[in-house]
Amino acid sequence: MLIDTDKLWERYSRQVLFAPIGRDGQMSLLKSRVAIIGLGALGTVSANCLSRAGVGYLKLVDRDYVEESNLQRQILFDEEDAKRVIPKALAAAEKLKRINSSLQYEVLIEDVNYTNVQNIIGDVDLVLDATDNFETRFLVNEACIKNNVPWIYGACVASSGLTFTIIPGETPCLTCFLGGLPSVGTGETCDTAGVISPVVNVVASVQVAEALKLLTGAKPALNRKALFFDLWENQFFEVEVMQNDNCPVCGKRAFDLLAGKMQQRSTYLCGRDAVQVLPPLKLNLSLEKLRDKLLPLGDVSVNEFLLKFTTGKHELVVFPDGRALIKGTSDEKLARALYARYIGA
Ligand SMILES: [Zn+2]
C-alpha cells in the first residue's frame, strides 16, 4: 500500500482537509478493517463510500447473486453483472477494485449463520449491517457483543429508514433496542412495501459517517440515539434507547443464536419470493455432475459460481457448498421437498 506519498495525500485530500479526520484520521482509515454483511442495497452504498474513503480492508459477505431487479438501488451493479448471474460479493469486489485498487477486498459468498459468524466478525474493527432480515441481525448482535466488536445497524423499507450504532460495553445492544426476534409476518417488508433508493442511500450514508467517526477515534461525535426518518413524509427524529440490565444478550450474555439453538434448515428470503435451503453439512458439490443429472428434467445452466435449474414455475440456484435458493415460493416445506428431490436429501 502507498503510504506517506504525495499521491496518497492528493487522493484523499478533501477528506484530510476535513479537520476532524485530518492526516491522523486518514492513516487510521487506511489501517482499518471492516466487514460488510450483505452486498445488496445498503451494502453496495456503504462499500462504495468506504472504498473511496480509503478503508484499508473490506470483507464483503453475501449469499446472493445479481439480478436485474437489484439495479434500481444496488449502486455497484450494472446490466452486465445481472446477465452474468454473478455473486454479489464478487461483482462488488470487481467494481471496488476499479474504484480503489490500493485496498484489500475479501469476498465471502456465504450465508451468515451461527457456524461462521464469529469467524467473519472476529478479525475486523467494525461490522456494518446491510442485511435484509432480523435473524441475521440478531445473530450479528450476539457475535459482536460476545467478541467486543462495534457494529452499526441499518434498515430501510418503503420511504423510511432506521440506524443505530452499537458499541459493546458502552451502548445498549440491538436486543435492548428492539427486544427479541419479531415473529414472521409482522411489520412491513420490501416485499409488501417496496423501497425507494434515496432511503437506501441515506441509511447507508449515516452508517458510513458513524463508521468514519469510530475508525478515526472520534467517539464523542457518535450518535448515541437511534435515528429514524421518512423521506416521503418529511419526518426525522431520534429515539433515546435505554440499556436493559436484564437484556439476555448484553446483560446476561446468553448467546442462544450463536449456540445454534434456533438454526433452521430453511429460511424465507424477504423481497426475493425465495427460500434458502442449507444442507445439514457443508458440501463440496461438482456443479457439472449435478448439471448432467438435472439435464433431462428441465433447463440447466452452470457458471463457475452456481448452477441454475428451472422446473415448472420454480427455479433452483445451487452453490458448490450445497446451499440452494429456491425461487418462486414462500413455502419452506415445498422448498425443502424440491431440494430433496433435485439436489439430494
Ligand atoms: Zn442488550
- Residue at 101 is within a domain: yes
- 119 plus 213 within the same structural domain: yes
- Residue at 22 is within a domain: no
- 226 plus 282 within the same structural domain: no
Q: How far apart are CA 267 and CA 278, in angstroms?
A: 9
CB 36 within 8 A of CB 61: yes
pLDDT of residue 4: 60
pLDDT of residue 182: 64
What's phi and psi for 100, nearest 5 deg?
-145, 95
pLDDT of residue 2: 47
Return the closest-CA partner of residue 89 out of 110, 118, 68. 110
- 213 plus 288 within the same structural domain: no
- 233 plus 108 within the same structural domain: yes
Residue 262's SS3 state is: coil
CB 142 within 8 A of CB 255: yes
Q: How far apart are CA 220 and CA 49, in angstroms?
A: 22
Where are any strands of DSSP class E within 149-304? 151-157, 160-166, 226-230, 235-239, 266-269, 274-277, 299-302
Strand 151-157 with 160-166, pairing: antiparallel
- 232 plus 128 within the same structural domain: yes
- 204 plus 134 within the same structural domain: yes
Residue 233 C-alpha to ligand 1 middle, in angstroms?
31
Residue 111 C-alpha to ligand 1 middle, in angstroms?
24
- 210 plus 334 within the same structural domain: no
- Residue at 188 is within a domain: yes
- 270 plus 224 within the same structural domain: no
- Residue at 20 is within a domain: no
- 194 plus 282 within the same structural domain: no
The DSSP string of 241-255 is: PPP-TT-TTTTT---
- 145 plus 202 within the same structural domain: yes
Candidates 144, 173, 190, 247; catalytic one = 190
- Residue at 305 is within a domain: yes
Residue 153 C-alpha to ligand 1 middle, in angstroms?
13
**Number of domains into which the chain is organized:** 2
Q: How far apart are CA 200 and CA 161, in angstroms?
A: 8
Residue type for position 94: E
Chosen domain end from 239, 254, 287: 239
The DSSP string of 63-118 is: S-B--GGGTTT-TT--HHHHHHT-BHHHHHHHHHHHH-TTSEEEEEES---TTTHH
Per-residue pLDDT of the chain (345 residues; tens, 9 = 90+): 545 688 889 999 999 999 999 999 999 999 999 999 999 999 999 999 999 999 999 999 999 999 999 999 999 999 999 999 999 999 999 999 999 999 999 999 999 999 999 999 999 999 999 998 888 999 999 999 999 999 999 999 999 999 999 999 999 999 999 987 665 545 566 667 889 999 999 999 999 999 999 999 999 999 999 999 999 999 999 999 999 999 999 999 999 999 987 667 788 876 678 899 988 777 888 999 999 999 998 999 999 899 999 988 999 999 998 899 999 998 888 998 899 888 885
Q: How many CB atoms lie within 10 A of CB 340?
A: 11
Burial class (CB in 10 A: 0-12, 13-18, 19+), 336: middle
- Residue at 256 is within a domain: no
Residue 141 C-alpha to ligand 1 middle, in angstroms?
9
- 51 plus 152 within the same structural domain: yes
Residue 222 C-alpha to ligand 1 middle, in angstroms?
18
Cell of 300: 440447466
CATH number where 301 lies = 3.30.310
CATH number where 176 lies = 3.40.50.720
Residue type for position 2: L
Q: How many CB atoms lie within 10 A of CB 288?
A: 10
Q: How far apart are CA 176 and CA 119, in angstroms?
A: 24
Residue 247 C-alpha to ligand 1 middle, in angstroms?
5
Cell of 266: 430453511
Q: Which domain holds residue 62?
A: 32-239
Q: Please say if 270 is a catalytic residue.
A: no
Residue 50 C-alpha to ligand 1 middle, in angstroms?
28
- 232 plus 284 within the same structural domain: no
